[in-house]
């Protein structure tokens, strides 16, 4: 099958691009805002991209704030730190809870009943219930133009 994503001419009920690279891990990104409120959000477009230096990235669609960003990206750009926790089958219910749109003043780790653990290298809590927690320092964001009206995709790496 050949289709052009900009034309969306695949004739299927769902966009096939979302299922081309599967299964993919879920990067459960924890961040804090400048007031110390914890944000926790799952990102399926996430991965490790190199090991020298160790670097991870995630793609964040546009958010509802006036700057067009989701809370995770806004927090990371403001504080320079985040933790990429790997979601597991056992944490799937809590992960789904953290995908809901809630006020940026809501501590999503507390809301979902997860246990925050102090990190060793960054000032952002990690999720105790996950076996892998990558403590990250923010490197950069790249705004990728979109042809869709919804807008923007930001790639964040650290």
CATH assignment of the domain containing 112: 2.30.110.10
Q: What is the pLDDT of residues 99-130, one digit of tens each?
A: 998 988 999 999 999 999 999 999 999 999 99
Number of domains in the chain: 1
> Is 93 part of a structural domain of the chain?
yes
Residues with Cβ < 8 Å from 39, sequence gap 6 or more? 29, 30, 31, 32, 33, 71, 72, 75, 104, 108
Beta carbons of 82 and 73 less than 8 angstroms apart: no
> Is 17 part of a structural domain of the chain?
no
> Is 11 part of a structural domain of the chain?
no
pLDDT at 152: 57
Cβ count near 31 (within 10 Å) = 27
Cβ count near 9 (within 10 Å) = 9
Q: For the chain, give me the number of helices (H) and strands (E)?
A: 3, 10
Confidence band for 15, pLDDT divided at 50, 70 and 90: confident
Confidence band for 37, pLDDT divided at 50, 70 and 90: very high
Q: In terms of residue numbers, what domain contains 45?
A: 23-157
pTM score: 0.86
pLDDT at 145: 73
**Choice among 68-77, 127-136, 139-148 with the minimum mean pLDDT:** 139-148
């Amino acid at each position: 099958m050949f289709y052009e994503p900009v034309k969306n001419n695949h004739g299927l009920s769902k966009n096939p691009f979302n299922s081309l690279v599967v299964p993919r891990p879920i990067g459960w990104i924890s961040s804090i805002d400048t007031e110390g409120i914890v944000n926790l959000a799952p990102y399926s477009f996430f991965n490790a991209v190199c090991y020298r230096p160790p670097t991870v990235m995630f793609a964040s669609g546009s958010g509802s704030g006036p700057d067009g960003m989701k809370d995770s990206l806004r927090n990371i750009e403001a504080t320079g730190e985040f933790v990429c926790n790997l979601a597991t089958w056992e944490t799937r219910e809590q992960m789904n809870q953290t995908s809901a749109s809630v006020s940026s003043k809501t501590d999503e780790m507390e809301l979902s009943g997860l246990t925050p653990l102090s990190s060793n290298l960054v000032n952002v809590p990690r999720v105790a219930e996950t076996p892998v927690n990558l403590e990250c320092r923010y490197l950069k964001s790249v705004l990728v133009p979109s042809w869709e009206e919804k807008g923007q995709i930001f790639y964040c790496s650290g």
